[in-house]
Amino acid sequence: MGCIRLQEIWIELGQGRRYPVVVGTGHLLELGTWLAERLTGQCLLVTNATLRRLYGGDLKSSLQARGWQVNAIQVPDGEEAKTLAQAGLLYDYMLAEGFDRDSLVIALGGGVVGDLAGFVAGTFMRGIPFIQVPTSLLAQVDASIGGKTAVNHRLGKNLVGIFHQPRAVWTDVNTLATLPEREFISGLAEVIKHGVIDADYFALLEATWPNLLARDPATLVQVIAGSVRIKGKIVAADEREAGQRALLNLGHTIGHALEAASNYRYSHGEAVAIGLVGAGLLACRLGLWSAVDHERTCALLRAVGLPIIAHDISAQDVLCYMAHDKKARADGARFVLPVRLGEVKCGLTVPVDMICDALAALGAV
């Protein structure tokens, strides 16, 4: 399919630091042309077996056609790729192949590949440029934007990382055609989270969700570009999460705990969806958020096939995981809560008994 629409959104980080997020359909293989006008040299294309088979070969050839020396390297699929050991293998390979400070890393894949490749690019020789080519919905609307990169530690996810912004994010929504349904729907939780942060975007989602679910390319471009704008604006204002970037953690306090308490039976997006409902219930009880906005949020989550109730979850386990959360306090947990569609507040401490009530309402026993 040809490129029917391209949107270029600039993430403005101040002091002249900025990068484009190029969202469109069918422009994946134009990356070499775009790069050739800006950088030259040797590049490491980091991907996994699935993405290599689907898009990696063509992307590599198109880069080579524009004069790049490309070394493609495959990492395991899933979270096990995000380890220091795996990063070490990439450093070994890059050193053996003569990579230097002028080399480039390209991440082709979901958030796992993006986080690992970004971490390696940010630490190899104190930091070399990298490009995000996100292929999952979650990576296109969230993980590829904002420069958080990390690997996991045995004591927790994303515990070892750095901020390293990409030079560009190259988002071809046509790659979503091959994304498994459950992954696609999971990515919609972060999209709806952005809707709670921005009321116009929420209305767009209410109007377009059937087309979105059908993966209509024009709708995907519009919705993904919208998410990029919302996250990009927040990141631009608070790159290092000293303040308002924490708004992006809406739904994640309960979500992360639920993900772990379910022993990862719930995907990240499914757990965040239930976490969004949990945040809404708490906000209702605190008198911050109206029943009408809460019901609209639940209705949209339900419409796209995300869960709003937890099954077979121990409330005690969820509380335990929440207590280990970096943001936990002795007298309760700190939450990001919605105030109205389009307004979210962070740093709100909620008493434990209120959390217990909300977990019971979410179906945890």
Binding site for ligand GLY (CB under 6 A): 142, 146, 148, 245, 248
What are the tokens at 113?
A: 């590949």
The C-alpha atoms of residue 25 and residue 136 are separated, in whole angstroms, by 14
Catalytic residue among 27, 190, 296, 334: 190
Question: CB of 352: closest distance to ligand NAD in angstroms?
Answer: 27
- Write each residue from 31 to 50 as x if it is in contact with ligand NAD (CB under 6 A), else as -, in one continuous string: -----------------x-x
Does 232 help bind ligand NAD (rule: CB under 6 A)? no
Q: Which is nearer to ligand GLY, 27 or 245 (CB)?
A: 245
The separation between CA 69 and the C-alpha centre of its own chain, rounded to angstroms, equals: 29
Closest to 170 (Cα-Cα) out of 26, 54, 56: 26
User: What is the maximum span of the chain, computed from C-alpha positions, in angstroms?
Assistant: 62
- Choosing from 24, 70, 115, 322, the residue that interacts with ligand NAD (CB under 6 A) is 115
The C-alpha atoms of residue 126 and residue 150 are separated, in whole angstroms, by 15
Catalytic residue among 52, 193, 245, 294: 245
Q: Is 327 a catalytic residue?
A: no
Q: Is 190 a catalytic residue?
A: yes
The DSSP annotation for 68-90 comes to -EEEEEE--SSGGGSSHHHHHHH
245 binding partner (options ligand GLY, ligand NAD, none; Cβ < 5 to 8 Å by kind): ligand GLY
Q: Is 18 a catalytic residue?
A: no
The DSSP annotation for 160-208 comes to EEEE---SEEEEEGGGGGGS-HHHHHHHHHHHHHHHHH-HHHHHHHHHH
Q: Is 311 a catalytic residue?
A: no
Other Cβ atoms closer than 10 A to 173? 27
Q: Which is nearer to ligand GLY, 60 or 194 (CB)?
A: 194
Q: Which is nearer to ligand GLY, 210 or 243 (CB)?
A: 243
Q: Is 256 a catalytic residue?
A: yes
Identify residue 51 by its one-letter amino acid code.
L
The C-alpha atoms of residue 107 and residue 123 are separated, in whole angstroms, by 15
- Choosing from 165, 171, 175, 297, the residue that interacts with ligand NAD (CB under 6 A) is 175
Question: CB of 144: closest distance to ligand GLY in angstroms?
Answer: 10
Question: CB of 308: closest distance to ligand GLY in angstroms?
Answer: 21
Q: Which is nearer to ligand GLY, 248 or 257 (CB)?
A: 248
Question: CB of 65: closest distance to ligand NAD in angstroms?
Answer: 22
307 binding partner (options ligand NAD, ligand GLY, none; Cβ < 5 to 8 Å by kind): none
The C-alpha atoms of residue 242 and residue 233 are separated, in whole angstroms, by 15
Q: Is 148 a catalytic residue?
A: yes
Q: Which is nearer to ligand NAD, 21 or 139 (CB)?
A: 139
Contact 77, 101 (CB under 8 A): no
Does 259 help bind ligand NAD (rule: CB under 6 A)? no
Using DSSP bridges, classify how beta strands 332-340 and 156-163 pair: parallel, antiparallel or unpaired. Answer: unpaired
Phi first, then psi: give them for residue 338, nearest 5 degrees: -80, 145
The C-alpha atoms of residue 290 and residue 340 are separated, in whole angstroms, by 7
The C-alpha atoms of residue 251 and residue 265 are separated, in whole angstroms, by 18
Question: CB of 195: closest distance to ligand NAD in angstroms?
Answer: 17
Residues that bind ligand NAD (CB under 6 A): 48, 50-51, 54, 77-79, 82, 109-113, 115, 135-136, 138-139, 142-143, 146, 148, 157-158, 175-176, 178-179, 183
Which residues belong to the active site?
A: 126, 148, 190, 231, 241, 245, 249, 252, 256, 268
